[in-house]
Each structure stands twice: as C-alpha cells, then as structure tokens.
C-alpha cells in the first residue's frame, strides 16, 4: 500500500476554508482519553480554577471539531491521516490544501515544465521544417532561469510544509519526500552551474528532473506508476519470449536470404538482411507491420514460398505474442490497480473512523457498558459537517440522514454509512414545468415534452447531414469561382429554421430553467444559436439565397467561409443522436469516463514524452541538415533521384529534434509506428547506427507498454459499463452512466476493512494517541 502521507486529490481539487484560529496550547479535559502531538508535544490540563477548566473544555471541544473536519476532508480526497493534529498544524494543513495554494503549486509545476518550449533551443517559430525555419528567437540569459528559480522557491516551500506536517518519523520513511529534496538539490546545483557559465553549458541535468515534480504531486499518478512497476516482471517474460522469437527468425532470415550469385535473390539480402543490425531492425519493424508487405516483395517476386517466412513470423509475433502481452498486462495491471483502489477505500474508511473517534470523546454520557460509550452526538456532527468542504448535494443528504436518528446518537457503524453518499452520483432534479390553462397551449406543451419530438429532431439532423454530403460530393471538383451555393444555402436556411422552432417549442414546454437543466438541450441550444447567428450574418452581408448565389472568396467573412462554418456546426449537431442509441451511448459514456479518469495515465505518458524529448534534443539536435544548404550532402536537383520511401523523398524534414515542440511531434509519429522505419534509417545515417536503440526504447515504452495499459483500462471500463447496463433491475434511463470514477469501477470487488483493522491503524497513528 502506498504510504504517501500528503497526497493530492484523487478526483479533483477540493477547496477548503482555512479559517481555523491558531492557539498556543489546548487543554485536554479528560486525562488519558487521547492526546494530540504536534510541534509542541501533547497538551494537557495541569490544574487551575473552575473558569480555566471550563475554558480548557471549550478549547478541547473546539480542537476535536477541527480534527474531525480535517479527517473527514482527508477521507473525501482519499488522503492519508498520518499528519500532525495540533491546532497550528491543522490550520497550516487546511491552508496548504486550499484552492489558492493548490492552484499556485499547480501553476508552478506547469510553468516549470513549459519552460522547455521557450528556453534554448526555442520552439517559438512558425514551422519546424529545417528548410523554412530560419533563425528563431532565443531568450536572453537569466530570463527563463529567473522564472525557474521562482518555481524552485515554491517547491522548497512545498516540501518544507509537507515535511513539517508529517513529522520527522514519517518523513525519514517517505521515499517520495526524500527524492523530492534530492531532486531539488540537484536542480539548484545545476541551475547555479548554468548561471556561472552564462547559460552556455552544453547539458542541463535539471531539465530531465522536471517531470518528477509533476509525479510527486499526483497521488493517482504515483499509484499508476507503482502498478506499472509491479506489472513489469510479468511483461518482461513475454518480452523475453518476443526477443527470442525475433533473434531466431533473424538468424533464419540471414541464412535464408544469404548473399548469392542470383541478382534477384540478392535484392532481399541487399535491402533488408545485409548484416545482423539491419536484419534485426527489419524484423523488429515487421513486428509492428509498418514495413509489410514491402519487406517481403523482393523475395516473394523470386519464389512464392518465401512468403511463408514472413507470414509465420508475423502470425507468431504480431498476432500471438503481442496480443498475449496485452492480455497479461490487462490481467496483472487490473489486479494491482484494484489493490491500489482497495488502499484508497481503506484511507476513506480510516479517515471517517478517526473523525468518529475524536468526536466520540466529547460525550459526557455515563457508560453502562462499553458499547454504550461509543457514539457521536448528532448536533456535534452537524456542526462538524457544516465546516467540511464537499459537494452541496452530498452535504445535504448526509445532514438529513444524521437528523433522522431519534435519540441523537450515531454509532460507529452508522457514522460510516452516513458517508456512503460520497459514492453516489449527483441526481439532477429538473425544475417543474410551467402550467398553462389554455387547452391549445397544453397541447403544445405536450408536444414539446414528448420523446417523439426528439426522434423527429434526430431524423431532421440526419436528413440535413445527408443533404450537405450530397451537395459536397456534387461540388467536390468545382473551384470556388464556379460553385453555386444556392442549393446549399437554401437547405441550410430550411433546417436552421426547424432547429430554432424546435428550441423555442422545448423552451415553451419546459420553461427556461427546465430547458437548460438538460445537458442535451444546452448542447443543442448552443449550436442552434451559433447557426442562427451565422445565418443572419450571411443574409445581412450577401442577402437571401438565390440562383447564382456564388461565394465571394475574399475576406475573413467571405460567403464561402461562412457557409463552410455553418456546415461544420451542422455536423457537430449530428452528435445529438448518440444518447438515443444504447450501444452508441455506452461507447460514448466509456469515452467520457476515459477522458475523466485518464489523467494519471496521460500524466505518466507526458512524463515519458518529456524525458525522451529532452534526451532526443541532447542526442540529435541539428542532426537533420537543411537540404538546401550549400554544405548538405543530400542536396538533389530532383526529388525523383532520391530512394523511394526514404526520409528525404517523403520530405519528413519537419520531424527532427531541433527544439522541444518538434521533438514531441517526432516522438508521436514514432509511437504511431507508421513508417517508423524511415526514422530509424534516417537518424542512423545522419548520426550513428546506435541511434536505433533510442527509438526502439521509445517504441517499447510508448507503443508496447503504455498503449497496452490504455487498452486494459478501456476494456475494464467498457466491460463494467456493459455488465451494469445489462442488469434487469436497472431502468433504461439509468442503464448508461456518464460518470464513473476508478473507485466505482472496482467498487463491487472491494472488501470493506474490519473495525479491528481500522482501530489498529488508528492506535499506530504517529500524532493521535487513543486510550482505547
């Protein structure tokens, strides 16, 4: 289980109101009940007058409330509760997790990483093509370094606050905090060296370390990274088998296509199997099918039996081993991810139980038995709940449940169940529809609210899209000056008029607030208003459609551009049919959930992209020459003289590592593995054959590992949604959910922690000492 004491929000950043007042000391009214240790140790009541005793009791009660508030907020965000709980630390803790502090810290991380686009070599140019790029602007020495130093100061403050809040004992056991300090120290030393050399040093180590600051700030990214690390041994076994398969077929291929007297057979040897590195590269690329069937054609032209070699290699490597790797990654990663989510559930339950324990000590109830002692007064709980920052609908639901206890006492079990509302989706309540007395108006309202109106709207959208497609196909070969847009203009005018009438009818039926309470209506209404504005602007500038209504190709607001823009929005409006088709809605819901839940995976990929881009710049900056320069060895008078399919013939000149933005695009092109053999060949010719190791390593990390992890998450999300949608007890309206967290994805497979386990962990809390 991950033991990071201070983790960022798992789902979203919750704002907190750091309104706790600080006190120098808090008295404890019950000796031996529990104590909270902070920077000044445990506070206890030594004696004094009755007034002091009452004052101490009030302060102690206030401390219990503050601790409960923080513990509940920790539970909401799946944070660890192993931090200081004295008044000053609690105030600092809530201030640290306030919106403004987290925003500043996120901005610092973003600025620190974005400096790679500005600092030398700068990406501030219109193109990365070496033929047209020209001289780019370079920032003066000290500009980016000054901004970077400010981010370092914020990171120093961040690690200082974290280290103080967790305490020394937890700090020395926290590898992430120790690495945080180490990375900051290395970065500051490297920054100092840069300033001493007036920004002329050849290598900057701190650029490679920047992604660490993003990693350490995200709880889910750290969980994902830990899952990937634990999945690597299983992936290594399949990769070893794949390497053995590649090596054996390489040896077999070099023997099969050896240098011979027959010039036809020699073509295969000369192009693909001339030596061991070329043979390995050829079959490695074939494993991704990027050079299929090109690599087979010379031998296949000689004898058809040669095709069996390439077919057998592809079947074993691409269709069996690569898919087996996907299956193993899915199985192993799902298990480790579920363990991680199980740990998150334990954190939530532990935080809630900790809040219950500190509040239960406020009871003045005289116990008759041990069981009767443990309860929380509902009035006190409602006071705590009022200070907790959470979604309003959750707070309302929890508060109503707490008020329903007739005796005003909440047991530990019921206290935990109160917070089950956190796992429930928001139930959107639509405002009541307006009431009309006229029979005619009632009929119109019924039409506007009927589902057949939506069906009719979907049919009209399809007809609109089909008509636009027909016109575009007819006019595809015509130039702008020969095009007559009367038909397209008239069609758009008719359909937009229908969209406006449909929107008006729905607003009339549901009322203005009711209309905008449906997300689909907001989508439709926004596009309808945009289409109406564009159509009115077209009429004002070019009058109504008429025969010979030719587009004016000049100007920003040319008729041709406006008609194209209208048609683009019409295509977007076609997406309104998705929620009405169950399978499409299921797929769309999966995509939406992936967008929400892929932040950790996208963050990991961003880190890998960043590191490989910086390494690529250091290795290959300036490696691709300008073909138009006088000293270029590849300058040709005609593109036909270049080898077919080569880097030069395909004009891949923008794909280089001359700046950070160009490096990112080049890495993306290699990750897609379409024609990636072109990059292997070009950079091995312009630099060194050893450059292939860099691109193969990138292919393994991005295409083999990350893409398979991405597929695993898609499978898990879709299967879970499909199973839920097929259950008979789920209504059709609830069969497709449009929001699912990673926790809810595994919710049914998780085990609830026992009461003994929770209490055992609370008794081992480094700063909160319970007597029972």
Rounded to 5°, angle at Cα 684 from 680 and 687: 135
The model's pTM: 0.78
What is the distance between the alpha carbons of residues 144 and 128, in angstroms, rounded to a whole number?
22
Helix axes 205-217 and 599-620, enclosed angle (nearest 10): 180
Q: How sure is the predictor about 551, in pLDDT bands with cuts at 50, 70 and 90?
A: low
CB 190 within 8 A of CB 206: yes
**Looking at the structure, do residues 61 and 210 belong to the same domain, yes or no?**
yes
Which of 221, 251, 273 lies at the terminal end of a domain, its last residue?
Answer: 221
**Looking at the structure, do residues 204 and 246 belong to the same domain, yes or no?**
no
Determine which helix (DSSP H) or strand (DSSP E) holds 36, and give its type and residue range.
strand 34-36
Has residue 753 been placed in a domain? no
**Looking at the structure, do residues 201 and 308 belong to the same domain, yes or no?**
no
**Looking at the structure, do residues 55 and 150 belong to the same domain, yes or no?**
yes
Has residue 505 been placed in a domain? yes
Has residue 687 been placed in a domain? yes
Tens of pLDDT along 205-232? 999 999 999 999 887 788 778 777 877 7
pLDDT of 262 > 70? The answer is no
Q: What is the CATH number of the domain that holds 552?
A: 1.20.120
Q: What is the CATH number of the domain that holds 620?
A: 1.10.287.70
Contacts of 282 (CB under 8 A, 6+ apart): 253, 272, 273, 291, 295, 677
Q: For 361-437, where are the alpha helices, taking DSSP H only?
A: 370-373, 378-387, 392-403, 412-418
Which of 221, 247, 271 lies at the terminal end of a domain, its last residue?
Answer: 221
- pLDDT at site 579: 65
**Looking at the structure, do residues 461 and 516 belong to the same domain, yes or no?**
yes
Has residue 141 been placed in a domain? yes
What is the distance between the alpha carbons of residues 206 and 220, in angstroms, rounded to a whole number?
24
**Looking at the structure, do residues 498 and 647 belong to the same domain, yes or no?**
no
- pLDDT at site 75: 92
Backbone angles phi, psi at 80, to 5 degrees: -75, 150
Has residue 344 been placed in a domain? no
**Looking at the structure, do residues 44 and 172 belong to the same domain, yes or no?**
yes
- pLDDT at site 623: 92
Contacts of 228 (CB under 8 A, 6+ apart): 333, 604, 705, 709
- pLDDT at site 113: 95
**In angstroms, how far is CA 599 from the centroid of its own chain?**
2
Query: What does each C-alpha distance from 759 to 110, 750, 762 come to in angstroms?
Result: 40, 19, 5
Contacts of 640 (CB under 8 A, 6+ apart): none
Which of 202, 221, 240 lies at the terminal end of a domain, its last residue?
Answer: 221
The two tokens of residue 696 are 């193969």
Among 125-134, 415-424, 552-561, 688-697, the range with the most confident prediction by mean pLDDT is 688-697
Q: How sure is the predictor about 588, in pLDDT bands with cuts at 50, 70 and 90?
A: low
What is the distance between the alpha carbons of residues 463 and 84, in angstroms, rounded to a whole number?
65
Count CB neighbours of 224 within 10 A.
Answer: 24
| Domain extent for 92 | 34-221
Burial class (CB in 10 A: 0-12, 13-18, 19+), 126: exposed
Q: How sure is the predictor about 264, in pLDDT bands with cuts at 50, 70 and 90?
A: low
Tens of pLDDT along 309-367? 999 999 999 999 888 888 887 777 766 667 777 888 889 999 999 999 988 865 554 44
**Looking at the structure, do residues 236 and 203 belong to the same domain, yes or no?**
no
Judged by DSSP in three states, 376 sits in strand
Backbone angles phi, psi at 131, to 5 degrees: -80, -25
Has residue 311 been placed in a domain? yes
**Looking at the structure, do residues 188 and 144 belong to the same domain, yes or no?**
yes
* Residue that is written with structure tokens 């019921």 in the block: 414
Task: Name the least confident of 11-25, 330-344, 473-487.
Answer: 11-25
**Looking at the structure, do residues 87 and 184 belong to the same domain, yes or no?**
yes
- Give long-range contacts, CB 8 A cutoff, 24+ apart: 208-213: 208/611, 208/614, 208/615, 209/183, 210/112, 210/113, 210/115, 210/116, 210/610, 211/113, 211/606, 211/607, 211/610, 211/611, 212/179, 212/180, 212/183, 213/109, 213/112, 213/113, 213/155, 213/180, 213/183
Has residue 151 been placed in a domain? yes
Has residue 585 been placed in a domain? no
Count of domains forming the chain: 4
**Looking at the structure, do residues 256 and 198 belong to the same domain, yes or no?**
no
Tens of pLDDT along 507-527? 988 888 888 888 778 888 888
Mean pLDDT over 170-186 rounds to: 93
Q: What is the CATH number of the domain that holds 278?
A: 1.10.287
Q: How sure is the predictor about 455, in pLDDT bands with cuts at 50, 70 and 90?
A: confident
Burial class (CB in 10 A: 0-12, 13-18, 19+), 356: buried
CB 499 within 8 A of CB 459: no
**Looking at the structure, do residues 670 and 599 belong to the same domain, yes or no?**
yes
* Average per-residue pLDDT for the chain: 79
What is the distance between the alpha carbons of residues 660 and 666, in angstroms, rounded to a whole number?
10
Mean pLDDT over 745-771 rounds to: 80
What is the distance between the alpha carbons of residues 175 and 92, in angstroms, rounded to a whole number?
23
């Amino acid at each position: 289980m991950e033991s990071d004491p201070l983790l960022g929000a798992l789902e979203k950043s919750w704002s907190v109101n750091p309104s706790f007042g600080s006190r120098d000391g808090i008295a404890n009214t019950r000796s031996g009940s529990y104590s909270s240790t902070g920077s000044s140790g445990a506070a206890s009541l030594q004696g004094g007058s009755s007034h002091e005793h009452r004052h101490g009791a009030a302060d102690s009660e206030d401390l219990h409330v503050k601790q409960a508030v923080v513990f509940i907020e920790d539970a909401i965000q799946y944070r660890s509760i192993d931090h200081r709980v004295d008044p000053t630390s609690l105030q600092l803790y809530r201030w640290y997790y306030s919106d403004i502090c987290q925003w500043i810290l996120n901005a610092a991380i973003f600025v620190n990483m974005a400096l790679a686009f500005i600092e030398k070599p700068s990406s501030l140019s219109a193109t990365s093509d070496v033929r047209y790029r020209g001289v780019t602007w370079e920032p003066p020495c000290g500009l980016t370094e000054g901004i970077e130093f400010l981010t370092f100061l914020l990171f120093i403050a961040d690690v200082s606050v974290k280290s103080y809040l967790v305490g020394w004992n937890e700090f020395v056991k926290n590898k992430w905090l120790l690495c945080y300090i180490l990375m900051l120290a290395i970065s500051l030393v490297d920054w100092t060296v840069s300033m001493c050399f007036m920004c002329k040093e050849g290598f900057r180590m701190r650029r490679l370390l920047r992604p660490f600051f993003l990693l350490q700030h995200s709880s889910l990214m750290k969980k994902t990274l830990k899952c990937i690390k634990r999945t690597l041994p299983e992936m290594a076994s399949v990769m070893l088998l794949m390497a053995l398969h590649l090596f054996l077929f390489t040896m077999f291929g070099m023997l099969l296509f050896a240098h011979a007297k027959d010039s036809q057979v020699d073509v295969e040897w000369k192009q693909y199997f001339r030596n061991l590195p070329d043979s390995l590269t050829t079959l490695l690329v074939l494993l991704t099918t990027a050079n299929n069937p090109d690599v087979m054609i010379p031998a296949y032209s000689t004898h058809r039996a040669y095709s069996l070699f390439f077919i057998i290699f592809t079947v074993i490597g691409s269709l069996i081993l690569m898919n087996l790797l996907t299956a193993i990654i899915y199985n192993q990663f799902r298990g480790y991810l579920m363990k991680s989510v199980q740990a998150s559930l334990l954190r939530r339950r532990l935080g809630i139980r900790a809040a219950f324990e500190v509040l239960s000590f406020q009871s003045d109830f005289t116990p008759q038995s041990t069981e009767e002692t443990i309860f929380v007064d509902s009035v006190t709980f409602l006071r705590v709940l009022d200070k907790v920052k959470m979604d309003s609908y959750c707070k309302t639901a929890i508060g109503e449940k707490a008020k329903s206890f007739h005796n005003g006492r909440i047991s530990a079990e019921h206290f935990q169940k109160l917070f089950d509302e956190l796992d429930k989706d928001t139930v959107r309540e639509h405002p009541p529809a307006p009431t009309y007395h006229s029979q005619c108006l009632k009929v119109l309202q019924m039409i506007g609210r009927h589902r057949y109106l939506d069906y009719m709207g979907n049919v009209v959208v399809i007809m609109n899209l089909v008509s636009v497609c027909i016109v575009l196909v007819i006019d595809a070969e015509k130039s702008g000056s020969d095009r007559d847009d009367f038909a397209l203009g008239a069609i758009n005018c008719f359909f937009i008029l229908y969209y406006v009438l449909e929107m008006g009818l729905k607003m009339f039926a549901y009322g203005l607030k009711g209309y905008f309470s449906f997300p689909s209506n907001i989508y439709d209404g926004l596009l309808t208003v945009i289409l109406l504005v564009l159509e009115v602007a077209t009429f004002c500038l070019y009058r109504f459609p008429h025969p010979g209504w030719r587009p004016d190709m000049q100007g920003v607001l040319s008729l041709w551009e406006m008609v194209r823009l209208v048609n683009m929005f019409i295509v977007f409006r076609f997406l309104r049919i998705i929620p009405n088709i169950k399978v499409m809605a299921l797929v769309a819901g999966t995509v939406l959930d992936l967008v929400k839940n892929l932040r950790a995976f996208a963050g990991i990929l961003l880190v890998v992209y960043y590191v490989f881009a910086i390494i690529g710049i250091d290795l290959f900056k300036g490696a691709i020459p300008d073909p138009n320069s006088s000293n270029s060895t590849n300058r040709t008078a005609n593109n036909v003289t270049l080898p077919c399919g080569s880097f030069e013939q395909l004009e891949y000149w923008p794909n280089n590592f001359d700046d950070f933005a160009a490096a990112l695009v080049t890495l993306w092109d290699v990750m897609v593995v379409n024609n990636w053999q072109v990059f292997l060949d070009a950079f091995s010719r312009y630099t060194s054959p050893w450059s292939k190791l860099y691109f193969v390593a990138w292919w393994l990390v991005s295409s083999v590992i990350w893409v398979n992890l991405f597929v695993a998450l898609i499978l898990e999300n879709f299967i879970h949604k499909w199973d839920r949608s097929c259950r008979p007890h789920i209504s059709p309206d609830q069969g497709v959910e449009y929001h699912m967290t990673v926790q809810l994805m595994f919710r049914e497979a998780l085990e609830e922690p026992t009461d003994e386990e929770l209490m055992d962990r609370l008794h081992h809390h480094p700063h909160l000492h319970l007597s029972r």
